[in-house]
Amino acid sequence: MPNKKITRAGIGCVIIMVLLAVAVVYPVINSLNCVSPSTSVKARGRYIWLAISAANTEQDLLGKPMLWPTDLEAHLGKPFESAEAYFTFLLSDGKSGKIEHDPEKRVVYDLKPSILMGPGLIAATGPNLPPNANAWHVVCVGEKSLVETPFLITRNVKASEIRYPSKAELDGWLDATHVLPMNKKIKPFGNKRAVWITRGGNAFDARQKYLTRARVVPVAQPEGEAELRVLPSIGGYP
């Protein structure tokens, strides 16, 4: 009888430990599987930023160009045409123009095609990055860009309106009523939220009613700096 009690107690402890482990791990898995349209996308955006930032540290030590869009374009001598083209380069070996199967050979080895997804999108499985496998617009930032400048923006945001606010907008942004449009046709994101990651790594998401134009880039345009240029996702809001 004592052995049976110990056995039952042991089984009970195991069950409790398993339940506790599930309670801890499940929210993380849930998040990465994009159950929440805002939190999960924001987490993925931060992951993308971390992967690129880590690769930039290595690039710097090796005397190679930074992997921000503007720095890469200057190095390659040509602009990227879309967010997909930029990400494809980061996922390639830097020469083939196609997604490299071996992560160790990728320009950004910590970047995975699956992390570019959003709710309702699928992971890229072939050599190319299709529009339905990418959740992001990319702002062309460089090493000298301000850390507050947006870098990744969910593709249901109208990319043409991502810009520095005018002084009048910046001074009166609390009273601004012009809301940044959302694209109702992009079902994975709906029309209620937008998420962006700054060049400095800060993550921001907002409900539609809080997204005024002046709040998109809450810093004045640096003197002498050109207007923001955005690489839109082929499958997103232009």
pLDDT digits (tens, 9 = 90+) for 58-78: 999 999 999 999 999 999 999
Dist. CA 140–CA 211, nearest whole Å: 21
The owner of tokens 């062309």 is: 140
Provide the mean pLDDT of the chain. 80
Are 110 and 54 within 8 A, CB to CB? yes
Rounded to whole angstroms, the maximal C-alpha distance in the chain is 83
pLDDT digits (tens, 9 = 90+) for 188-203: 777 667 788 999 999 8
pLDDT given at position 163: 79
Dist. CA 97–CA 95, nearest whole Å: 6
Task: Please choose, from the candidates 189, 88, 204, 74, the residue with its C-alpha nearest in 3D space to the C-alpha of residue 140.
Answer: 74
The reported pTM is: 0.79
Domain boundary assignment for the chain: 40-231
**Which residues of 47-91 form beta strands (DSSP E)?**
none
pLDDT given at position 1: 47
Percent with pLDDT over 70 in the chain: 72
pLDDT given at position 127: 93
Cα atoms found within 13 Å of the Cα of residue 39, Cβ hemisphere only: 9
Highest mean pLDDT among 67-76, 153-162, 169-178: 67-76
Report whether pLDDT(28) > 50. Answer: no
Report whether pLDDT(24) > 50. Answer: no
Dist. CA 219–CA 6, nearest whole Å: 64
Q: Of 228 and 189, which is predicted with more confidence?
A: 228
